[in-house]
Amino acid sequence: MCVVVRRLEAQEVPSKQAEAITSAITEVLNDSLENVADTFVSKADMQKVRNLIFCNILSSSIFRLRTIHLTILYEIDKLTTAEIGIISIVRSLLQNGLGCCKTM
């Protein structure tokens, strides 16, 4: 700050004005640096965001897999029920058929 004030004073700018100008320039630069700093993300923060996105994708995939798994189990249950029904029908036909043959 002193170097800028001295340069301004060397250009015949009064001390108070030189200090005010230097202070204003410093304030503008600090604000600009803060704005720039706000637009950048640290590597650690970026990694946290990546991890969060990965976790969300993984959770969504697990949910979909569970849904598919339950659907498959339901379909297996339906097939098992159908097979049991077929077995009962075949058993009934065999019993009736055997009963029919015994009477002949």
Same structural domain for residues 60 and 102? yes
Shared domain for 30 and 47, answered yes or no, is no
- pLDDT digits 0-9 by tens, 51-77: 999 999 999 999 999 999 999 888 888
47 and 86 belong to one structural domain: yes
32 and 78 fall within a common domain: no
Q: Please tell me the predicted confidence (pLDDT) of residue 68.
A: 93
Shared domain for 79 and 98, answered yes or no, is yes
pLDDT in tens, 79-92: 788 788 888 888 88
Residue 40 confidence (pLDDT) = 81
Total count of domains within the chain:
2
What is the extent of the structural domain holding 11? Answer: 1-40
Instruction: State the SS3 of the chain.
Output: CHHHHHHHHHCCCCHHHHHHHHHHHHHHHHHHHHHHHHHCCCHHHHHHHHHHHHHHHHHHHHHHHHHHHHHHHHHHHHHHHHHHHHHHHHHHHHHHHHHHHHHC
Whether residues 55 and 102 fall in one domain: yes
- pLDDT of residue 98 exceeding 80: no
